[in-house]
Amino acid sequence: MENEEDISTIECCSSNVTFSVDDSDYTGTILNIGRYGVSVSVDGKLLLPKGKKIHMTFDDKSKKDVKSAEVAWSDLSGFGAKFI
């Protein structure tokens, strides 16, 4: 089943991520990340509209990776976004 394979690629972590919305930068903590998207916890009250395009910067010890994403859901605790 395709969904079972997708679930197995999801990783739990608590790495920091920086993301840009329009001309503002924010930081958050990655809760889960997979091939198709990410869920991020944020401090403060940041509500992002569904469909909003954002740019996410993932810092790894060996490289810096920037991905574009689209907000899939958002609430006062954070948001989920799918990579585009």
pLDDT given for residue 64 in this prediction: 75
As for how many domains the chain has, the answer is: 1
Give the integer Cα–Cα distance in Å for 71 and 37: 10
Give the integer Cα–Cα distance in Å for 2 and 6: 6
CATH number, domain with residue 16: 2.40.10.220
Partner residues linked to 81 by β-bridges: 38, 71
Beta strands in the chain (DSSP E): 11-12, 16-21, 24-33, 37-41, 53-59, 64-75, 78-83
Residue 25 near residue 10 (C-beta atoms within 8 A) = no
Residue 49: give the domain boundaries: 2-83
pLDDT tens, N- to C-terminus, the chain (84 residues): 444 445 545 566 778 899 999 999 999 999 999 999 999 999 888 999 999 999 999 876 666 788 999 999 999 999 999 999
